[in-house]
């Protein structure tokens, strides 16, 4: 993990990042016939995508998902985010959804991967599946979380409050929000699965030893902007 910059240096780096981003975005839009926007890219750099974040880094453009995007209407064919919307308040999340709709071209697709609150609540069921038991054991081991008073209680509380999380969705909350924004064909998928070949296998941030933990707790919601 990189050492954080002193406050003044961090402020200057962010200002430079914001200053350079319009040219970065313009170059992407000029060179890519199929335009794909990744919100909150972090360390991910998807080839052929406009990778964006709020923190300065090479290969990224500045975009604050909680505010109007610095992008024109109907510019993109795809918008995707992986473990981003839970870092926004509920109201900010609705901004992100509305802005995703605005910048998509008619017929474009949005795809949001985020922790599923319902999965975490279901951990409290008495008759747990083998997959749930495996998840409980691996999750607390992954983050070295305590198991007392119970791993279910620890996981639910810390998943909701750690890493800057502000609001966790279940499908019954996120899918209607997309519909209200104007999206149609709102569908739920498992991680890495899609009925659009361009999005199949998209999620890759949590590959490796703890991939099972991410796959178990994450839902993926995909929706389409109506064609003209």
Instruction: Render pLDDT for 167-204 as a digit per residue (tens, 0 to 9).
Output: 999 999 999 999 999 999 999 999 999 999 999 999 97
Please write down the HEC assignment for all residues of 68-121: CCCCCCCCEEEEEEECCHHHCCHHHHHHHHHHHHHHEEEEEEEEEEEEEHHHHH
Does residue 153 lie within any of the structural domains?
Answer: no
Does residue 145 lie within any of the structural domains?
Answer: no
Total domains in the fold of the chain:
1
Answer whether residue 9 shows pLDDT above 90. no
Does residue 135 lie within any of the structural domains?
Answer: no
Does residue 127 lie within any of the structural domains?
Answer: no
Q: What digits encode the pLDDT tens for the residues 207-224?
A: 655 688 999 999 999 999
Tell me how far apart the alpha carbons of residues 215 and 203 are, in angstroms, rounded to a whole number: 10
Does residue 84 lie within any of the structural domains?
Answer: yes
Could you give phi then psi for residue 98, rounded to 5 degrees? -65, -40
Tell me how far apart the alpha carbons of residues 61 and 82 are, in angstroms, rounded to a whole number: 17
Query: Residue 109 belongs to a domain with what CATH number?
Result: 3.40.50.150
Q: Range of 179's domain? A: 7-117+165-224
């Amino acid at each position: 993990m990189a050492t954080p910059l002193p406050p003044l240096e961090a402020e200057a780096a962010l200002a430079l990042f914001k200053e350079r981003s319009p040219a970065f975005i313009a170059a992407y839009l000029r060179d890519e016939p199929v335009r794909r926007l990744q919100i909150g890219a972090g360390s991910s750099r998807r080839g052929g995508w406009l990778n964006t974040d709020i923190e300065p880094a090479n290969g990224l453009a500045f975009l604050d998902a909680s505010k109007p995007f610095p992008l024109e209407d109907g510019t993109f064919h795809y918008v995707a985010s992986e473990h981003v919307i839970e870092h926004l308040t509920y109201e900010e999340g609705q901004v992100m959804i509305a802005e995703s709709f605005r910048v998509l071209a008619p017929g474009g697709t949005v795809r949001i991967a985020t922790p599923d609150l319902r999965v975490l609540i279901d951990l409290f069921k008495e008759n747990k599946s083998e997959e749930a038991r495996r998840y409980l054991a691996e999750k607390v081991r992954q983050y070295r979380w305590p198991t007392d008073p119970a791993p279910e209680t620890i996981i639910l509380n810390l998943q909701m409050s750690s890493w800057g999380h502000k609001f966790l969705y279940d499908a019954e909350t996120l899918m209607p929000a997309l519909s209200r924004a104007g999206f149609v064909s709102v569908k739920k998928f498992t991680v890495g699965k899609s009925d659009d070949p361009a999005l199949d296998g998209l999620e890759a941030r949590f590959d490796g030893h703890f991939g099972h933990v991410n796959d178990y707790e994450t839902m993926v919601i995909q929706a389409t902007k109506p064609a003209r």
